[in-house]
A and B are shown apart, each in its own frame.
Chain A
Amino acid sequence: MPGIEFTLALAGLIFCIGALGVLLRRDPLVMFICIEMMFNAANLAFVALSEHLKSVQGQVMVFLVIAVAAAEVAVGLAIIIAIFRTEKDVNVDHLSELKG
């Protein structure tokens, strides 16, 4: 099994790919998927450290993060669908209703 450094670097790389996706893509669903990818990178770091420290606490944290992410996905998708039912536009750059 590779060491903790490899797994943490992998988690960091996946996090950066997710961040790149949020910065680059203009499709709200893909941006949302990339946010989930960053969640998962954090989870991977939790699991790796849990394995390295021989403690189950990190795994409990991942359990809680998965539950919170499920709630977040439900609310986020409902908001996206509510917006795009009325807007019929899939580019987040064109959304400016909240502009002051």
Chain B
Amino acid sequence: MGLSYILFMVFAFSAILSALAVVMTRNTVHAALHFVGHLLCLAGLYSLLHAPLLGVLQVMVYAGAVMVLFLFAVMILDMGEQERSTIASSRWQFAAAVVAAVALAAALAAFAKPSLGAALAPAGDAAKDLAADNIREIARALFRQYALAFEAVGVLLLTAVVAVMVMAKRKLES
């Protein structure tokens, strides 16, 4: 039980707690800030799971760019004033949602049984350190095997930017 184990547990439980805080808090700004904490915990988990590049990307893209966008949206919509209408209105709705989530959790936990790790034998070299040449390995896979997917994602991002601009412009004209 080394330092990485303790760090993993700390990140895992703070990820769960911040996720619960996102759902439970009534203030939208607080929810967004709790979600930033959740993303940072996940970035730590990625780094511990030998994916340092994804940890950095998580902080830069998600905790940086995406959450700033969210906070701008909260600011524009002035959500802070309307904190009462956040939780589901009907008690039956609440109960149904909780039951659905618990059933889903049970179904997912059934997959994560202890024999799973033995059943999934490592495909590659078991002693390989994924973190050692992480960026080079990812780049190699991304630009050779997944080159088409990479280009498609580029086109998708361009399309999204154009779509958002069209939507924003039409609002200004009307």
Contact of A54 among B48, B51, B58, B122 (CB under 8 A): B122
Contact of B79 among A47, A72, A73, A90 (CB under 8 A): A90
A23–B117 touching, CB < 8 Å:
no
Q: Which of A1-34 contact B (CB under 8 A)?
A: 1-10, 12-21, 23-27, 29-30, 32-34
19 contacts between A and B (CB under 8 A): A2-B9, A5-B113, A5-B117, A8-B112, A13-B108, A14-B16, A16-B104, A20-B97, A20-B100, A29-B31, A30-B23, A44-B46, A49-B120, A51-B49, A51-B50, A59-B53, A78-B163, A81-B73, A93-B89
Contact of B108 among A12, A55, A56 (CB under 8 A): A12
Residue A95 at the chain B interface, CB threshold 8 Å: no
Once bound together, how far apart are the Cα atoms of A12 and B100, in whole Å? 14
Chain A residues with CB under 8 A of B49: 1, 7, 47-48, 50-51
Once bound together, how far apart are the Cα atoms of A57 and B145, in whole Å? 9
CB closest residue in chain A, given B127: A54
Chain A residues with CB under 8 A of B141: 56-57, 60
Once bound together, how far apart are the Cα atoms of A83 and B126, in whole Å? 52
Given A25-B88, A37-B35, A54-B124, answer yes or no on A74-B164 (Cβ-Cβ < 8 Å).
yes
| Interface residues of B, Cβ cutoff 8 Å to A | 4-5, 8-9, 12, 15-16, 19-20, 22-23, 28, 31-32, 35, 38-39, 42, 45-46, 48-51, 53-54, 57-58, 61-62, 65-66, 69-70, 73-74, 76-77, 79, 82, 85-89, 94, 96-98, 100-102, 104-105, 108-109, 111-114, 116-117, 120, 122-126, 128, 130, 134, 137-138, 141-142, 145-146, 149-150, 153, 156-157, 159-161, 163-164, 167-168, 171
| Interface residues of A, Cβ cutoff 8 Å to B | 1-10, 12-21, 23-27, 29-30, 32-34, 36-37, 40, 43-44, 47-57, 59-60, 62-64, 66-75, 77-82, 84-85, 90-91, 93
Contact of A74 among B62, B161, B171 (CB under 8 A): B161
Contact of B48 among A1, A43, A66 (CB under 8 A): A1
